[in-house]
Amino acid sequence: MAQHIHGPLYYERMGRTGPVIAFVHPNPMDQSCWIFQMAHLSTWYRCIAIDIPGYGRSPKAGANLTMTDMADACWEAIDDALTGETAILVGSSVGSAIVPYMYHQRPDKTAALVLSGTGYNPTKEFTKRRIDNYTANGIDYRWAYTFEDLSPAFRATPLAHFFANLFTERNEHADVQTIIHQFKALQQPYPDGHHERIVCPTIILTGSEDGAHQSAFALKAHIPNCELKVLPGAGHACQMEQPWLFDRFMIEFLTKHGLFPGTSKAVGKSDLGI
């Protein structure tokens, strides 16, 4: 059992055949932010979307929570659903901070990394701001925070409000103190060689309107042979704003590295439902 987490993480599954893809969500969302990817990619993959501690329907965590704890717990969820499987690990924001730790724990079980809503940020100044906001406003801060993850154009849409309501309707199951513990874990410095020692296929998908967009290029420079694609006009949660382009870039990347089922066949946009 992962340390400092009060039980196994909640997850949802979709897809009955194919390789495994595990999705790890951003703050302030939960596993539902992957709704489009789960629906689409389960055509070819067995997909699992995980609620990290304090979000959705996952348990609380204690004050000494670490990134390693969260990575352990995510692997435990994969093992519970799909014992012993190799997985493609997909993260957004906080999720993109967790999945490199998952890679280092089980490099032999990590087929590829897909990172979004992220960049290279050794000072991690954003963590103090988030801790202050959650401390001052409690769990209700999640509603306003959802819109901060979206581009100006998307945050004005009814769909953005739908998502904000969807996440916060689960606030009774969430835990603000655990979320604060998570940001304190995120504050810790990157381990030596944390990004430089990643050798599996890796891609960064970054929205041009994301506050982390420019630092995504710096992160690419730290990961050997890392690829990067830009989603024009998308914000931090680019997988929600432009799922057609996010999925297309992801599938093209997986196909290139022989990780799309039936890659001996040329895959065109019509084959991908795009």
Residue 107 to residue 104: CA distance in whole angstroms: 6
Q: Which helix (H) or strand (E) holds 24?
A: strand 20-24
Alpha-carbon separation of residue 161 from 131, 153, 237 (angstroms): 24, 12, 14
State the amino acid at position 231 in one-letter form. L
Report pLDDT for 267: 38
Spell out the domain ranges in the chain: 11-256
Report pLDDT for 273: 47
Residue 45 above 90 pLDDT? yes
Q: pLDDT tens across 176-188, in order?
A: 999 999 999 999 9
Residue 266 above 50 pLDDT? no
Average pLDDT, the chain: 95
Report pLDDT for 19: 98
The CATH architecture assigned to 11-256 reads 3-Layer(aba) Sandwich (3.40)
Q: pLDDT tens across 137-183, in order?
A: 999 999 999 999 999 999 999 999 999 999 999 999 999 999 999 99
Angle subtended at Cα 211 by Cα 209 and Cα 217, rounded to the nearest 5 degrees:
90
Report pLDDT for 262: 81
Local confidence band at 7 (pLDDT 50, 70, 90 cut-offs): very high
Local confidence band at 271 (pLDDT 50, 70, 90 cut-offs): very low
- Please name which of 32, 48, 51, 52 lies closest in space to residue 166, comparing C-alpha atoms: 32
Region 48-60 average pLDDT: 97
Report pLDDT for 1: 74
Determine the straight-line distance between the first and last CA of the chain, rounded to whole angstroms. 40
Q: Strand order in 87-92's β-sheet?
A: 11-14, 46-50, 20-24, 87-92, 110-116, 202-207, 227-231
pTM comes to: 0.95
